[in-house]
Amino acid sequence: MDYTQFKLEHDDILREAIRRCKIELYQRAQPSANYNDIYQNYVKQKENGEKVESVYNMYYISQEELNYVVNKYLKAYSLEELFKEHCDIIIRDITEGCHKDKYVPEKIDEDGFKHPGYRSYEEVPPMKQTLGEDTTNTIVNFIEERKNYYRFNHNAEAFRFNIFLGDSPCTNEDTVKDYWKSQGQDLIINPRHLNEDQFWCEEHGYDYDENEDF
């Protein structure tokens, strides 16, 4: 068997995330469209040496809805930025104290019963109690500087670049309406104001009812 067919690299995952995100964006767009059809038409035009027709002005999605979908896929594919969050956790542990693993070895009690070892934890005091406040502040300031220096997540930026600057639906309502008017059609765009309850319903497969209490 040729196992190279199962080879999977990080760029494959990134391309999949981008493709699936665009599929959903065009499903949500007004008018709704099939991104796979749009892409295949683009490939056909390129292969035939034809002028590639831009679809940017043809489909509308609100900036709010676009941001929601993008963030959903960043999270689903673990592309979101977590470095700063991890730095904040380390700073909190240094300044406030934390816990660390402690292995409790097996033992035999006075009745001869054997108790297996197990994983426990012990408290770690704030660093200033052992190193002093000045040294602790120096360490914390250094971590803060590194946190702000490494401020770009290349995976997340590559994803956003492909979505926001690629062939995604347009977020300018007037631009899309003007395009369809030039084609002899008056496009009616229904406003969508998404909220956290609606987001939750969508992600869990429920129909959203704005009159229902959550």
**pLDDT tens digits along 35-63:** 999 889 888 888 888 877 788 889 999 99
- Contact assessment for residue 46 and residue 77, using Cβ atoms and an 8 Å cutoff: no
State the pLDDT at residue 193: 66
Same domain? For 27 and 63 the reply is yes
Q: What DSSP state is assigned to residue 31?
A: S
In a domain, 1, yes or no: no
Residue 2 lies in a domain: no
Angle between helix axes 63-76 and 154-164 (nearest 10 degrees) is 140
Stretch 9-15: mean pLDDT, rounded?
84
Residue 212 has pLDDT above 60, yes or no: no
Q: How far apart are CA 10 and CA 100, in angstroms?
A: 33
Residues 6+ apart with CB under 8 A from 44: 50
- The helix (run of H) or strand (run of E) holding residue 13 is helix 10-28
**What's the CA gap between 152 and 37, in Å, rounded?**
34
* 91 and 110 housed in the same domain: yes
pLDDT band for 174, please (50, 70, 90 cuts).
Answer: very high
Q: Does residue 67 lie within any of the structural domains?
A: yes
Clarify whether residues 117 and 148 are in a common domain: yes
- Final residue in a domain of this structure, among 137, 152, 167: 152
Catalogue the long-range contacts made by 136-141 (C-beta closer than 8 Å, 24 or more residues apart).
Answer: 136/94, 136/95, 139/94, 140/91, 140/94, 140/95
pLDDT confidence band for 214 (50 / 70 / 90): very low
Q: Considering its fold, how many domains does the chain have in total?
A: 2
φ/ψ of residue 75, rounded to 5: -75, -45
Residue 15 included in any domain: yes
Do 53 and 106 lie in one domain? The reply is no
Cα(17)–Cα(109) distance, integer angstroms: 56
pTM over 0.75: no
Mean pLDDT of the chain: 85
* Residue 42: other Cβ atoms inside 10 A: 15
Quick one: 63 and 167 in the same domain?
yes
Query: Is residue 81 scored above 80 in pLDDT?
Result: no
Residues 148 and 171 in one domain: no
Which of 152, 175, 198 terminates a domain? The answer is 152
Whether 105 is covered by a domain: the verdict is yes
- Containing structural domain, residue 32: 7-80+154-214
Question: Residue 46 domain-assigned?
Answer: yes
Would you say residue 148 lies in a domain? yes
Residues 172 and 66 in one domain: yes
